[in-house]
Structure 1
């Protein structure tokens, strides 16, 4: 990805130092070219990496949603031990910084895309404008899903003099975003400008079209509890437009560790304390074992005995499904009431002498999650097919819910191989589907099975915010919240992130209006579409 930036700098230098004797041009900074020279396509890979960064790591998702949704668990407790935010809903030393990660990253990405579009318009790059809009809607809808009301209709207009934009209520923002998304999709034209420097789809407009309609489908289903008619309208538009058709359509943000663009989830999980204290949750391991899920040995391992092996991510553990044990959420290693050793199923410490791992033989993520070159899974065919299964069960889309479900499972098992680790064989896929057909005895039984699979799939692909959003929407899986002393959410699983503190100093009036409209600014304030449970 860095090569595109370096290429831009080189080309700009050559353009501005050609044989021209005019003083003004000779004294123009070659690294700050004007719009007449700059190719706006060069902004796309930088914005793309920023988008992936928003979905991962210390921007917030691995420190909040990964454990709110009980995919992962950690024994960390309070103070500067940052996973207490996630596992126990307890403030850590940097909580305020983590709160603003998605907001700042999201608006940085959107601002870059907005600038790309402005430059593209001056050059008649209509397809780049449209792709920018598709990407921008995906970005800002993500921000809105985390916080609620956001600046949208007046956002990103500082150059036009709007430096304190109003916060649109989420209902209006969603409607405007969906409309803008549809307009952008209609504007894509294979005969117009090619998309260059595209690190997701290599400039393939057909894939961008499918991505846009798949985003539309996901956004449409957010509305099922608050505006079923609108949900159905937008679901049908998405299906008619054409959503993902195979795992080849997966939207993956590539990583480039040698050039400084690492997978930020992997950055986090390579920290020694994270290697030791971050484990798969009991909820996740029990779910995968209950269905003999073939992904289990790919994603989970029990480290060898002893503290040294438990703190070393290069040591390969035991991936036998039979020995995997999930760590219950809400426990620590402090020796008190909540010490993990007090849990009735505690497997006991491992090692001996001065090399004892008191955490016990719980399953940790395998090396694929510590690979800084691993892609970020932004949106997958598996998710889209499971969403279509949900829509079919609710009567919002035609087609067989069972077929969509099977497609989703097959897609999930195919996509796990893109991490760079193990893969699931065709025989194992068929065996799993034969043993776990979609339960259609009742609508609720079907929705539960579909959305539990969605939770597992998005969590396994490290898209924790999406797992959390879908849990808020559907109530599945049914999770028991942690009620650790001193928690910030009254013993409830958080439903949103508070607005960044900085907004009160730069846009106070609009922020206050949004907080009043939403009914609060805390961890359990529900966003407009959140009616799942």
Structure 2
């Protein structure tokens, strides 16, 4: 587990992880937690589960949706052994165990604000695990008296998580013996922001299940009407990394592209989409080592994938999302001293993402949202551009550039039928989510958009779900191309 430095205006919070639970078993007794306090357990749990999705899961899913070509996971190459550490050390025996201990210990101590935050982190994590694996241990996952915890169905877990989020929101409003501050590495103890995060998580989950649950439309409308969702970039559910190597606190994507410099190329598909729309985010998203020249790779091209002959010439991830360098056209080989030096942001749920979810629900479900689909489409684009400008690198995307891009996209949008309008919404969301392959992967499976992803040679079945790790014996071991419950 990394030591990570978190920069939170107006102060610098240094989190030293003084213990690790990575050697704990999934069935360690939650009624006998470690001697660590909730103040120590909460940040460790937050970092561990978030890093799981920001690193390995991100690499696999980003390759699946073709924003990058990763030499290890191209062509849906994900095996059961690939998943072992993620499932055991990072999740069940790592961050999730810490969060479960916060819930158990905090309930006894009446530290309700810690309990509420831990429940929201638990709900977020388990929802993504269902999205990856479908049926997983949940209700018996931390019961020390059970050797082989049952695998609950994905749909049942989603229903339980809905109840857990509502519980958590109630906990945040209770009188708490202690309240978190800088030990909450996401929101610094701002409970109002945690409330907006919880409601936005519900919104995301309802939208995720819209193909299999006809009741979600009114639920989405109710959440929007309450007007307590993520509403600005200051509410965004995200994790900020640092820029030092001792202790190591840089984003893993920066380490891969600027320090190790081996695994990733940018997929030609993604670059073609950006350049085809004259997207002003390109120099913030992509860094060309070869001055002024994009050098990417076609997904599924088996030739020379692992020889790294293009290591000093290829295009890598830029300042957004990797904490790398803004591309000013001068080029240069990536090093650990370039750009933001790894002080990146991993964006889990953003205001722009919330806007695009509303827009999708308007088009797919016909709901009454906070605005029309056209207005939401425009607002989502503008908020996405603003998110890039929040980096404070380069000259910034100018108002004129944003207005030109928005006008071009609206011209296409207003001339399209409903199906194509939904496609345009999802493609703009796909571009905004660059760096969060998990959510791009969810959207792609739910909507089929992008609908033109191709592989030069397809050697593995389409990755519709993750395989179970080789270290567990689930009731069944479905093929990777089988669907999770909400994906029909």
Counterpart selection for 1:89 from 54, 68, 76? 76
Give unpaired runs (5+ residues) of structure 1: 10-33, 75-82, 305-316, 341-355, 505-510
Pair 1:407–1:163, CA change in 2 (3 A) = farther
Match of 1:118 in 2: 104
Offset, 1:71: 0.6
2:373 to 396, 401, 404: 401
Q: Shift of residue 7 of structure 1?
A: 9.7
Structure 2 partner of 1:169: 153
- Once the two structures are superposed, the pairs formed by residues 439-454 of structure 1 within 5 Å of their partners are 439-440=413-414, 441-454=416-429
Partner Cα distance (1:291, 1:481) in 2: 20
Distance 1:407 1:400 in 2: 10
**SS of the residue 1:495 aligns to:** coil
The answer to whether the 8 Å contact 1:60/1:98 transfers is no
Matched residues, number = 436
Q: What per-residue deviation string (whole Å, max 9, x for no partner) do you get for residues 202-245 of structure 1?
A: 1111100011111111111111111132x224323432442111
User: Are 1:52 and 2:39 an aligned pair?
Assistant: no
Q: Report the CA distance between 1:113 and its aligned residue.
A: 0.5
Map of 1:268-279 to 2, 5 A cutoff?
268-274=256-262, 278-279=264-265
RMSD: 2.9
Match of 1:414 in 2: 386
Q: Judge conservation of contact 1:235–1:397 (CA < 8 Å) in 2.
A: no
Deviations 1:399-421 (CA, angstroms, capped at 9, x unpaired) = 31122222211221122245564
8 Å contact from structure 2 (residues 284, 319) kept in 1: no
2:447 to 443, 456, 474: 474
Aligned to 1:226: 212
The aligned counterpart of 2:185 is: 199
Q: How much does 1:8 deviate?
A: 7.7
Partner of 2:465: 496
Match of 2:58 in 1: 61
- Shift in Å at residue 271 of structure 1? 4.7
Q: Distance in 1 between matches of 2:192 and 2:173?
A: 10
Counterparts of 2:254 and 2:312, CA distance in 1: 23
Name the residue aligned to 1:382: 352
The equivalent of 1:330 in structure 2 is: 300
Query: In structure 1, how many angstroms separate the alpha carbons of the residues matched to 2:64 and 2:17?
Result: 42
Cα separation, 2, equivalents of 1:358 and 1:164: 47
Matched residues in 2 for 1:357 and 1:8: separation? 41
**C-alpha distance in structure 2 between counterparts of 1:181 and 1:358, whole Å:** 47
Greater mean alpha carbon deviation, residues 372-381 or residues 495-504: 372-381
Deviations 1:7-53 (A, max 9, x none): 989xxxxxxxxxxxxxxxxxxxxxxxx98985412222111211221
* Gap regions ≥5 residues in structure 2: 6-12, 20-31, 325-340
User: CA–CA distance in 1 between the matches of 2:35 and 2:273?
Assistant: 55
Counterpart CA distance in 1 for 2:57 and 2:345 is: 18
Sort the Cα spacing of 1:367 and 1:38 in 2 relative to 1 into closer, same or farther, 3 A: closer
Q: Normalised by the size of structure 1, how large is the TM-score?
A: 0.75
Matches within 5 A, 1:154-303: 154-158=140-144, 161-189=145-173, 192=176, 193-196=178-181, 197-229=183-215, 231-241=216-226, 242-256=228-242, 257=244, 258-274=246-262, 278-303=264-289
The equivalent residue for 2:129 is 143
Contact 1:151 1:168 in 2 (8 A): yes
Cα distance in 2 for partners of 1:387, 1:499 equals 29
Q: Deviations over 1:364-404 (max 9, x none)?
A: 32355244321211211111111111112221342311222
**Cα 1:269–1:302 shift into 2, 3 Å:** closer
Structure 1 contact 54–101 (Cα < 8 Å) conserved: no
Describe the shift of the 1:424–1:115 C-alpha distance in structure 2 as closer, same or farther (beyond 3 A): same
TM-score, normalised to structure 2, is 0.81
CA shift in 2, pair 1:367/1:127, >3 Å? closer
1:463 Cα deviation from its structure 2 partner = 0.6
Going from structure 1 to structure 2, the CA distance change for 1:273 and 1:359 (only over 3 Å counts) comes to: closer
Q: What secondary structure sits across from 2:69 in the alignment?
A: strand
Q: Residues 80 and 467 of structure 2 are in contact (CA less than 8 Å); yes or no, is this contact kept in structure 1? A: no
2:265 is paired with a residue of what secondary structure?
strand
Do the aligned partners of 1:49 and 1:261 also contact (CA within 8 Å) in 2? no
From 125, 129, 134, the equivalent of 2:120 is: 134
The answer to whether the Cα contact below 8 Å between 1:55 and 1:378 also exists between their aligned partners in 2 is: no
Q: Could you give the per-residue CA deviations for residues 473-531 of structure 1, whole angstroms, max 9, x where no partner exists? A: 1111113342637x331xxx311111011112xxxxxx21xx2xxxx522211101113
Tell me by how many angstroms 1:358 deviates.
Answer: 5.9
| Inter-partner Cα distance in structure 2 for 1:294 and 1:122 | 52
Q: 1:134/1:325 Cα in 2 relative to 1: closer, same or farther (>3 Å)?
A: same
Cα shift at 1:266: 1.8
Conserved? CA contact 2:137–2:149, under 8 Å: yes
Q: Equivalents in 2 of 1:474, 1:393: separation in Å?
A: 12
Q: Deviations over 1:172-216 (max 9, x none)?
A: 111111121122113321754422311211111110001111111
SS of match in other structure, 2:238: strand
Partner of 2:487: 530
Aligned-partner Cα distance in 1 for 2:368–2:155: 22
In 1, the alpha carbon distance for the partners of 2:440 and 2:112 equals 34
- In the alignment, which of 20, 40, 43 is matched to residue 42 of structure 1? 40
In structure 2, C-alpha distance between the alignment counterparts of 1:281 and 1:148, rounded to whole Å: 28
User: Quick check: 2:127–2:158 contact (8 Å CA) kept in 1?
Assistant: yes
